[in-house]
Structure formats: structure tokens, C-alpha cells
């Protein structure tokens, strides 16, 4: 997955790629778009350590 090029795989493949490259904000986005809100919230709190972002995310 090169920067600036569209990804044509599945959301699952995109998530795997992001996990392997430690792209946490991108994973949060993917998880939120696929309905995995708890998983996205966990990443914000545990991996990013951003409580204010977690609160804003939960309010959406």
C-alpha cells in the first residue's frame, strides 16, 4: 500500500496492512467505518494514549 495510491483490497486487508505498519489513526478510521467502535476506542486509549480524542470519538 503506497502513499497516494488507492487501495483496492477489502477493509480486512487494509486493516492487516495498517496493523503491520503500526498506522494507528488509520486503523481507528477503518474500524469506525466497519462498525468496530469498541476496537477503535481501545486503540485511541491504549495505543495513542489520547483520552480527549477518545471522548470526542465516543460523542460522535
Cell triple for 60: 460522535
Confidence tier at 10 by pLDDT (50, 70, 90): confident
Residue 54 has a pLDDT of: 96
Q: Where are the domains of the chain?
A: 11-59
What residue has cell string 495513542?
48
Q: Of 48, 53, 51, 16, whose CA–CA distance to 34 is shortest? A: 16
- For the segment 21-54, what is each residue's pLDDT rounded down to a tens digit? 999 999 999 999 999 999 999 999 999 999 999 9
Q: How many residues does the chain have?
A: 60
Amino acid at each position: 500500500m503506497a502513499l497516494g495510491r488507492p487501495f483496492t483490497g477489502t477493509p480486512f486487508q487494509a486493516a492487516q496492512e495498517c496493523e503491520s505498519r503500526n498506522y494507528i489513526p488509520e486503523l481507528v478510521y477503518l474500524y469506525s467505518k466497519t462498525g468496530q467502535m469498541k476496537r477503535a476506542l481501545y486503540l485511541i486509549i491504549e495505543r495513542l494514549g489520547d483520552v480527549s480524542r477518545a471522548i470526542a470519538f465516543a460523542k460522535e
